[in-house]
A and B are shown apart, each in its own frame.
Chain A
């Protein structure tokens, strides 16, 4: 059974129809690549799944239950974690502080509850090690490279054990070596039974890690195929409209 089911999702901003009747389904252990040109509706779809705003019409179901998200935190509570394109990090805080932002670990000393630094540093260190990132928990995010910042944003999604991880262009601004690491992480997420939606402009990345690719064009899903049944050429054709639908 599908983990996430989007049915007939429509989103209008005034006269602009960003999404028109999009269906999408994803199961645990599956990675779906979401592709499309700028303005095709990828970000809008992601933001609806992430709870940034509700769809104009259509329904979202998680494990067969209909859900409505009023804000991103609601989506998180149902097991959806997002890596935003701008990463949504606080530059003035440490890597560990960002990983635990809003979910700080505390310990009790008498009547006082205080931040548990050792525990958070240790856990953050473990998460970075898992990601094979050289990020250090105590470093300020302001001083980090693009890849390290990416690692912080991804490590944050690993804090809880999410069912679905949305990644918005995670490989757009990082080094070649770190692209490999991010892709390896997506593989690891799949192996451990998570679902991943990857929004990316990079065709090789999508073809390397995804099981399926869905193509949006002008707010309409024009293709949803298994990777093995399609090719980068066909997907490119679908994105730019040279191929009407497949």
Chain B
């Protein structure tokens, strides 16, 4: 083993350009990632805000920021998977509406929270299954498929809800509102769920075959296919995962607000995609960071919160979200041009 190592070194010595490229590991690898730099921006913004507003670094405000971002963060985790395959899912926002309505209708009819949750996730899985099947087996462009699905799902939500608000969630109403709006150890439940999900996704991307294959498909789907990876089935599963994340977020959000209308989740897909891209996902596919999703979502929520506290009209909010989105992509390009 030693002699082979030496031989390798011997050969490396011949080719100088190879020597210059060191293997990176540990901290050096972390600072090369997009989420790290976005995290720094996040910290910088937070530090500035502590000077701008006394209300910023209060327990109440941090509680609100983390809770608000969690709904988008959960969805961004799923979106990261889709974007990693060079796809996109525009239907997640309207799916929040439909699966939320489904939960409301089931629980209002007197069923328990387990049934409500199951129904919510089944609706989400069905939408993801259709998206994924059309993209994977019929080779349709994800943008068009999910744009169509967005429209279909919005309409379905209006039909099944009869365009009415639901605020009565049957026997488990109190439990449901605690799950969505309550907290454990003064950290919102939804934030706990986001943390656990992020940890799971981190493990999946790093250590599971499924994660490895999704990343491979994003890098070179043709090569993945030749290597025997069931590309079509994998793509379907990716869209289902994304939809399930949206369904979970919807379930929690309904519990938090204590009511649901079919307009819930309207245009959320834009925020979720922005959070995912700010967190380091590349629309060309092949790149995914579990930590990117919550960090991207946190930055967007922090911008919103900062504008309010700084007394800047909320009308400016989308402007700054857009600005940060473009800056994040620019940063990513600059880094990759440097030979990242």
> Please, which residues of chain B bring their CB within 8 A of the CB of A113?
209
Q: Which of B15, B206, B215 contacts A93 (CB under 8 A)?
A: B215
Q: Is the CB of A92 within 8 A of B226?
A: no
**A136 vs B22: C-alpha distance when bound (angstroms):** 10
Contact assessment for B228 and A73 in the assembled complex, using a CB-CB cutoff below 8 Å: yes
**0/1 string, B198-238, CB within 8 A of A gives 1:** 00000100111100110110111011111111000000000
Contact with B along A80-111 (1 / 0, CB 8 A): 00101000111111000100011110100000
**B208, A114: Cβ atoms closer than 8 Å:** yes
A139 to B11, CA, bound (A): 16
Candidates B4, B7, B220; contact of A91 at CB < 8 Å? B220
Q: Measured between alpha carbons, how far is A115 from B203 in the docked complex, in Å? A: 10
Instruction: Say whether B224 contacts A91, CB under 8 Å.
Output: no
In contact, B228 and A115 (Cβ under 8 angstroms)? no
Q: Is the interface of B mostly helix, strand, loop or mixed?
A: helix
CB of A38 within 8 Å of the partner chain: no
Residue pair B7, A90 in contact (C-beta under 8 Å): no
Selected contact of B216 from candidates A82, A101, A177, CB within 8 Å: A101
Alpha-carbon distance A41/B73, docked complex (angstroms): 53
Q: Give the interface size class of chain A.
A: 20 to 34
B219, A133: Cβ atoms closer than 8 Å: no
**Cβ of A79 under 8 Å from chain B:** no
Contacts of B21 in A (CB 8 A): 139, 143
User: Is B17 interfacial (CB-CB < 8 Å)?
Assistant: yes
Give A50-70 as 1s and 0s: 1 = Cβ < 8 Å from B's Cβ atoms. 000000000000000000000
Interface: A76 (CB within 8 A): yes
| Minimal Cβ-Cβ distance residue in B for A143 | B21
B224 touches A90 (CB 8 A): yes
Residues from chain A with Cβ under 8 Å of B224 in the complex:
90, 101-102
CB pair B220–A88 under 8 Å, yes or no, is yes
A177 proximity list for chain B (CB < 8 A): 14
- B287 on interface, CB distance cutoff 8 Å: yes
Q: By the criterion CB–CB under 8 Å, are B228 and A102 in contact?
A: yes
Interface residues in B218-273 (C-beta closer than 8 Å to A): 218-220, 222-229
Q: Which of A124-132, A190-198, A214-222 contacts B (4 or more CB under 8 A)?
A: A124-132
Q: Return the contact of A92 from the options B213, B227, B286 (Cβ within 8 A).
A: B286
Answer whether A102 and B229 are a contact pair too, CB < 8 Å, given A91-B286, A134-B8, A134-B11: yes
**B15 to chain A: which residues have CB within 8 Å?**
134, 145
Residues of A contacting B25 with CB < 8 Å? Answer: 138
Selected from B18, B209, B222, the residue in CB contact (under 8 A) with A115 is: B209
Task: Tell me which residues across on chain B come within 8 A of A106, comparing CB atoms.
Answer: 209
| Bound: A129/B226 CA distance, A | 25
B8, B12, B23: which contacts A138 (Cβ < 8 A)? Answer: B23
Given contacts A88-B227, A101-B229, contact A129 B212 (CB under 8 A): no
Which residues from A are CB-within-8-Å of B215?
A: 90, 92-93
On whether the beta carbons of A115 and B207 are closer than 8 Å, the reply is yes
A162 within 8 A of B: no
**A29 at interface (Cβ–Cβ under 8 A)?**
no
Shortest Cβ distance from B9 into A: residue: A134
| Cβ-defined contact, B226 with A93, below 8 A | no
Question: B residues within 8 A CB of A132?
Answer: 7, 11
Report the separation of the CA atoms of residues A82 and B224 in the bound assembly, to the nearest whole angstrom.
14
List B contacts of A128 (CB < 8 A): 8
